[in-house]
Amino acid sequence: MSGNLFIVWAPSGAGKSSLIAALLEKDSSVRQSVSFTTRAPREGEIEGKHYHFVSRDVFQKMIIAGDFLEHAEVYGNFYGTSKKWIDHAMHNGFDVVMAIDWQGAQQVHKIFPEIIGIFILPPSLEVLRQRLTARGQDSAEVIERRLASAHEDMSHLGEFDYVIINNEFVDAASDLLAIFRSQRLKRKAQFKRNNDIISKLIKR
């Protein structure tokens, strides 16, 4: 049995984390990959739930050992996805969602050509600025840097399969759930998950 691999990305502040949390609450067949990172934990973040927090030295050793499916440097910190964990979850039939950027998506696509990419957009840059400010996590300088990076992020929109505009959160969460469920109902996916049932029904 094999699950699907999804990548969800958005400019910082567009609501990616909240939408993924809502998805996980609604769909028990989905597991989120927990990335390794060299950045310091933010207030409220829990080791092993939000990230695996490691030193730069440990991260470099993991790169050399080939532990990462993908890794990238973002805002001066490193992030990476465990190859072993992804393989184990998908082998056990779970759909896996990865919250990684377009650089990571390009790396993963080389290994998993069938990945499903979902890009979350804010309704406008002004709304994005308001959300970043309201979070109260970053200085004005960092917010401006994130907004500038948003332009670079959005230029890679064409590399993703689906686009969700997070204007009304409830609607965006419903759209994200619908994408996961629809992918699970495709013929190829159904044969993977329910081959015994389908084979018996179509056998002559």
- Per-residue confidence (pLDDT) for residue 204, from 0 to 100: 63
Give dist(CA 80, CA 164) in Å, integer. 25
- Per-residue confidence (pLDDT) for residue 48, from 0 to 100: 86
- Per-residue confidence (pLDDT) for residue 163, from 0 to 100: 96
Alpha helices of the chain — where are they, by DSSP H?
16-26, 56-65, 83-91, 102-111, 125-135, 140-154, 169-184, 187-202
- Per-residue confidence (pLDDT) for residue 33, from 0 to 100: 92
Averages of pLDDT over runs of 10 residues in the chain (204 residues) are 87 90 96 93 86 95 94 88 92 91 86 92 89 82 85 88 96 97 90 86 80
- Cβ atoms within 10 A of the Cβ of 192, count? 15
Q: What is the pTM of this model?
A: 0.83
- Per-residue confidence (pLDDT) for residue 39, from 0 to 100: 93
Give dist(CA 47, CA 35) in Å, integer. 10
CA atoms within 13 A on the CB side of 95: 26
